[in-house]
Structures are given as C-alpha cells and as structure tokens.
A and B are shown apart, each in its own frame.
Chain A
C-alpha cells in the first residue's frame, strides 16, 4: 500500500501542476480578480472604476481591445462596426434619436437614457436585454451612473461635466428623476414592475382608467410614499383605504360574507368578494354587518408569492405613478 501511494502521489502532483498552469495561463490572458470599486467621484476616472468593477459593464461590453465581452456593443473604436468611440458615437446616435422623436437629444441625454431606459433605443443587431443598472444586484447610485456617463463621454466625446452632474438638461433631469425614484424604492426596475403589476394587481385596481374596481385606483399613489405602498402590499390589513374597507356581513343563518360593500340601496346590500363575485343580500336577512379591520380583500400572501425582485420592481413602478398635478 505504501509503495503504491508513493507512486500515485507524484502522478497527482503532476495533474495538479497542469491544473495550476491552466489557471495561471488563463489569468495571464484575461486579467486578475474583479474587485468591487469603493466610493467614487463623478468623473471619467470614477466612471472607469465603476465600468470595470461594481457596474459589471464589462460583462457585456468591451472598450476597443480592452475586455472580451460581445453581448452588447463595443464602447471603443473597434473594427468596421464601431468606427467611433462611445463619446463621439453618442453624439451621432443623439442626432438620430432627435430626428425620430422630434425632441432635442444631446449626447449626454442619449447616454443617460440608455442607462435609465435601456430598451428605449436599442442598437441595431443587439437584443433588448441590458440589465437595469440601478436595480439589484448591480444597484448603482445616481452618482455612480453620472460617473459612468462621464467615462463614456470621455471616450472621444466632448466632456461637459456640468451637463452630466450639476446642471443637466431637461431630458437628462427627467431620467435622473426616474432613477432616483426607482432607487428610493429599493432600486427596482419599473418596466419589470409593470409586468408584475399586470399579473398581480390589475385585476382589482385601476390605473390610467384600466383594470378592476375591487380595490382603490392607484393613479398618483406615489404621493402616499414608499412606506405606505410597502405596507399596503405586505400587510394589507394594516392599511385600508376609505371607501374600500372590508365588511363582514352575517346573515340570519350565521353565514359570513366578506368583501367590499359596493352597493347599499333600497332593501339590499352588495358585497363584492375578493374574486370579484358580487353577493346581493336582502337587508332583512342580515343579522349583523360591520367593518372588520382585521381582514382585507387584498391577498395577504403576496409577500410569499413574490420574489424580492418582483417586490422591488413593483415598488419602483408604483413610485413612478405621480399625481397628475405633479407630472
């Protein structure tokens, strides 16, 4: 046994040596470990650190010969497909965008839009699959996003720091507001939140005159604040909107009907249940009817059914539902 082990272990060491050599060679070819960036300034240097670090932009993009990712457009000057580096290319793209939209886009507007709404104007030949960088897991702050824009503008463009940071144009400012609202809601993706809303909420709630009427309309809901919305989703019994209280009607046979009181006229009361069924009860048959603040027509298991991402996405979506006057 001992003799065998002394024959086998050198063999193992050779195999491990090859394994180490492969690891070493690949690291030499592709670079070392990826360290998350520390806090950065709004500057091209800060943006570069975010680009190759926390922002994970390198996962899908390269800059000229730097990096090897090809999922998204190369941000440097690269071959015939990318004759201009990103800063100069942004100005060209902004011109095209202006013609199509009939609004004035600057290079900064274009870059900020591509980060705030990545699906708005996708480069031809690429899929609409860019991650929302201000949502988890990337979760860039507004300051970090400004730094990335500064970095991209510095790649062959006219770097205008006030336009990026302190005195942004109207369009850029609107996108910054969107990012800030989403970031406030835990950094969700409002576009994905719209889908979650459609799947889970629209059957009972109205938004922009569409949807069900079992629950209150959600136009302008952001005015009530993040805490209110969050509690309404996670603990619906805690928050009951006036006019949408949950009633419990008990008839003379002891049968309970729980839902919203949607009609009370003549000798009848309509109770609309959570599934939308309307139960009409004659007042004479009702033994007791009262508001029960321990029950809610709103499902109380949404927090269980939703993933963290769904929750963050829908919060960010609802936080964008501004009151009309504020728009």
Chain B
C-alpha cells in the first residue's frame, strides 16, 4: 500500500513537469506588453492562495532536497568505516522521503495550475522566456524520480556482492577522469558559456565534482548505490537551480528591454544576477531544514520510545540530524549577507526596502528566530554532554558561552532606532537615536556578534566532542597521513585568507569610488589578514610538533580578536571614513572565521584520534527536555523559512517582474507582519501535520522492513 502511494507520488512529479511544459508551449513573451489579466478561484484572494501553495511546496521540497544531501554522506561514512549502523540510519532518513516526495509533487502541480489559471498574463510571459528551461526542468524530474526509485528500493539489492571486474573499475575511473578534465576545462573557461564566478563554482562544486567522485569510487554494488545517491542529489540540485532562476529573474530580470520584450538569450534569463546567490542560500537552508525535520522525527520517536535500545538509536539519530543542521547553519548567515549585498547591487530601492523599509521589522523577527536557532542548538549540545562520561569537566565553560550568546543575541536584535514620541526624543536631547544603543544597531556591531555566535557554537561543539576524551595523542606518531591532511587542509584555509589579503593590499580605492587617501582603510584589513595567516601557520607548525592544543588556542584567540573585537570596532571607523569598504570587512571576517574553524577542527580530529576514553557515549541517556529543544529547532527554522520567503518575494513590491511587469491587481501591496505571521503560521501548522503523517507512514515502512 505504501509502495503504491509512493509510485503514485512519482507519477505526480512527472505530471507536474509535463503540465509546466504544456503551459510553456502555448505561452509567448509578447504577452508582457498586454494588459495583465487576473482571476480568482471561489472568491479567494489569489495572491494569498499562491503564497500559501508556494510556501507548502517549498517546505516539502526543501525537505526532499535536503535529506538526500546528508543521507548519502552518512551512507558513505558507514561504507567507509564498514559500520552497518550508519547504513541503517541513512536508510531510515531516506524512508522519510517517499511520502514527502509525493506531497511535494502534488503541491507543485497545484501551484502550477493556480499560477497559470489565476495569473495567466504573467505566467504566459514567464513561460515564453523560460520555455527551454521548463522543458529541461520536466526532464530532470524523470532523472530525480528514477534516481530516488533506484536509491530507495535498490538499497538492499545493491548491498553485498564482490568487487566488479578490473576492467569495469578502470572504465568508471576513466569516466571520472574525463568528467574531472571537463571540470578543469570548464573552470578555466575553455568550455561552457561566459558566466558569473559564483555560478561557475556552483556548477563545479555541486555537479561536476560530485559526479567525478561518484564515478571514481565505483568498485562494487554498494559504491554503485552511493553513486545513484550522488545522482539523486545532482538532479535535485539542478531542479532547484532551474526553478530558482525564475524567482531570481522576477527580482533581477536580464535580457529584456524596457517594455518587457525579451531580447536576450535563455542563458541571460537563467543566469540573472540573483539566481545563484539565492541558490547558494537555498542549498544551505535546505540542508539545515532537512536535518532539523529529520531531527524532529528522531525526537518524536525518542519521546515515544519504549526500550533503551530505541531511545539510544533515536538519540543518536537526533544528534546526527542536529550536527548536520549546525554545519549548514554556520555558513548560512554569510550566504545571506552575500545575497543581501547582491540585492543592494541589483537595486538600491529594493535593498533599502529590505533593511530600512517595509521589511526592517520583519528582519528583527528573523534575527529573533535565527538567534534562537543558535541558542537552542547550543542548549541541545550541552544537554548531550550529560550522556558523555567525563564531560562534567567542561560544564564550567557553559555559563560563559551562554553569556556570550545572550549578549550577542541582544546586540543582534537591537534596532538602529525605534519610532519615538516627541517626549522621548526630547529626553534624548533631540536625537532619535539612543546615545549608546544606536551603535549596536549598525552593521559593524551585528557582523561582529554574528561571528561571535558562530565561534561560541563551535566552542560548544569542541567541548562536546572532547567530552569523554583525555590526553591528546601525538600527531607525529600518527604517521604521514595525519601530517599530510593537516598541512593540506591548513594550507588551503590559509591560502583562502592570503588571497584576500593580497586583494586588500593591492586594491585601488577608486574601485570602490573612494579617493586615494582612503587606501589606508583597505590596507589595514590586508595587514590584519596577513597577521591571521601567520597565526594559522604557527598553529599548524605547533600541531605538527605535538603542541596542537596550544596551536588551537592561539589560532582561535587571534581569530576571535580579529573578527569580533578588532574588526567589530574598526568597522565603525570604516563606516565613517570609507563606508564602501565595510563589505570587505565583512568578507574578511567570514574568510578568517571559516578558515580557522576548518583548520582547528582538523587539528582536533587528529589530536583526539583514538585518545584515551573515560567511557563510552551513553546514547539514550538524554533528557526528554532536550528532545523538545530539537522539536523547537524544527518549528523555528520552518517559521523562519516562511518569513524569509515573504521577504524575498515581497521585496519586489508591486512588481511581478521588478522594473518590467507591474502587478496591477488589487493585491499589489505589502501585507503587515501580522498577516505574514498568520499566513506562515498556518502553513507551518499544516506542514507539521503533514510531517506527523509522514513520520507515521515512515514508521510503518521501517517496521515492515524490520519484520
């Protein structure tokens, strides 16, 4: 029965794709020049109906795209370590997908019908421009569907068995090398159209590289199964990227003239300014979202578990899910910053509207939600330390981390100003800004505390993973592999910072519309980055000399000082004297932080590899309270996703396609934050009911398999 339901779902995906193509075939871009036609269904506000359907489609779609990303990674871990526990976990995650996949398809079909019937002029125009992309989109559904079929149903079939013949293995390796060579040629610009740097790297890292790795690892049935999982992710990512290009085009159209007539190529329309920044943000968001929804599944199962074994399993599953979510959440603010910067570059009006107009207060709600995500994630990690023998040694640090998080959170939430009465303005000597708090509302303060929140979360993670380990292991004694890994990853991290240091040291202020005498503000960042590189090099040398802990402390301290204290304060100077440099400050903060986290984490892995243990992790010995924290994380990220969708879509104001096709319907206005919370809250409630159904059905499937 469950299988029938799933097959039905796959058919719906294909149906949705075919529908899109049929509509695309009958559409023409010339419709942009006609008067907009709007229709209603049963008197319902069409805009709110579309909003609701799109939101529900995106919730389920994000889960369907997010889960395979880490399911395959977990499967690889199990395959590599020959640990069936991981394989079983990956299968359990995948079992959640089937119902979600069907629901996503059904909602996608409904959304397509609603869009084409209620907004025929607008959709005719879009379909006219994107008809080629829509064909490709529909074809990719087949790839996604078959890959998911094979991945899920072929799990047990593709287990076991011996190695493939040597010829077959070499054949796949040759394919891998061909793909890698194509990737290199693509990177160097020998093949493929001209494109933005971010689009190029997106394609290289998410399509070409995984495909090359996938071919390279094929040597038996299990690795072939992993390859299918990689294909599943490639198809899913491509579907998302194509659909994203439509959303991006609506915000930053390219290849059309002032009357809306399409004069460019399909590639111009596809690779519009915001398409890739949105895709990057959505990829990370999907990963965090998929992780947390899977975590909610584990939490619900844990709460209802009857045996210690069940509790242990779902506790572990919840931990892995939260780990995945945190890994995606850490770079997410930076991807958001990049997207925001590109929105400003596209249109200052849209940018102002985002941070200083209709959505400034919506962003305060967003800050509350994102801050909550980090605080609750940390709480979950601290709760997890209770199941680690010996972790009590680190409890004393928790209060300081909590303090750092709360102070950072408070600063992040502080607005630059608030609507004030005349009396209040009088009390502040005629200023509409608070004398002290006004500084906390500005970008330099916010950038500094975002970095501090991430550092604090990373510190919690370090304490957690060291909980039951004592006596660091000699890295020198671990052979060349350990040293090689540390040096290579360390060099890559430092190179990332160093290249930006060189950019800062050589940048002409004129590139930022600044006079020559403002060069010092750019150079200072360059020197700071050089200092950071030196600290990184010393940390690596210390690690190789078996003084890894000292190296970690040094590197973390220098980075914390640079990104939060120095650049936090210096950001205000830059803002006053050379404000365009502020974005370079933010980029330098991000690069230092990411580089430091990666290098310190790698050192930590080898520092405690096979270290003496104070006892085995006691999975299942976790408070029920912590499981509610896991659930709360899921609720918060879902609400936040809906809120961000409202902002992204609402930024266009009363334009269907920004600057090209105006929304002349009666619904062309920006709803209030209360309307937003009602609409998003309703969608979240329905999504959670859908998840409950999904978990129940997934539970039945798992039980049936176990039987």
Contacts and interface: CB of A to CB of B under 8 A. Distances in A.
Given A23-B365, A186-B258, 8 more contacts: A5-B692, A11-B632, A20-B678, A58-B357, A137-B349, A137-B658, A188-B258, A307-B273
Contacts of A31: 672
Chain B interface size, under 10 / 10 to 19 / 20 to 34 / 35 or more: 35 or more
A312 B263 CA distance: 14
A137 B672 contact: no
12 contacts: A4-B300, A9-B692, A12-B685, A19-B681, A23-B672, A23-B675, A26-B361, A27-B672, A27-B674, A68-B360, A79-B430, A137-B350
Interface stretch (B8-16, B93-101, B247-255, B521-529): B247-255
A19 B265 CA distance: 44
Contacts of A284: none
Nearest to A30: B361
Interface of B: 252-259, 263-265, 268, 273, 300-301, 303-304, 347-350, 352-353, 356-358, 360-361, 364-365, 368, 416-422, 425, 429-433, 579, 628, 631-632, 635-636, 639, 652-655, 658-660, 668-678, 680-681, 684-685, 688, 692, 695-696, 699
Contacts of B685: 12-13, 16
Contacts of B349: 56, 59, 131, 137-138
Nearest to B684: A16
A8 B264 contact: no
A309 B352 contact: no
Nearest to B682: A16
A270 B252 CA distance: 43
A127 to B, nearest CB: 8
Contacts of B265: 304
A101 interface: no
Given A5-B300, A8-B631, A20 B677 contact: yes
B669 A34 contact: yes
B488 to A, nearest CB: 40
Contacts of A34: 358, 669-670
A60 interface: yes
Interface in A10-30: 11-13, 15-16, 19-20, 22-24, 26-27, 29-30
A255 interface: no
B670 A33 contact: yes
A279 interface: no
Nearest to A234: B263
A182 to B, nearest CB: 11
B674 A26 contact: yes
B356 A137 contact: no
B631 A65 contact: no
A322 B673 CA distance: 48
Nearest to B357: A59
A8 B303 contact: yes
A315 B258 contact: yes
A209 to B, nearest CB: 25
Given A70-B432, A79-B432, A311-B257, A27 B673 contact: yes
Contact of A11 (B419, B628, B681): B628
Nearest to A81: B430
B672 A36 contact: no
A308 B677 contact: no
A78 interface: yes
A177 interface: no
Contacts of A324: none
Given A65-B420, A68-B417, A24 B258 contact: no
Contacts of B422: 65
Which 9 residue pairs of A and B lie closest in terms of their CB atoms, listed nearest first? A23-B677, A186-B258, A79-B430, A59-B357, A136-B659, A4-B304, A80-B430, A27-B674, A35-B669
B365 A59 contact: no
Given A16-B684, A68-B419, A304-B268, A23 B257 contact: no
A230 interface: yes
A131 B422 CA distance: 29
A249 B628 CA distance: 79
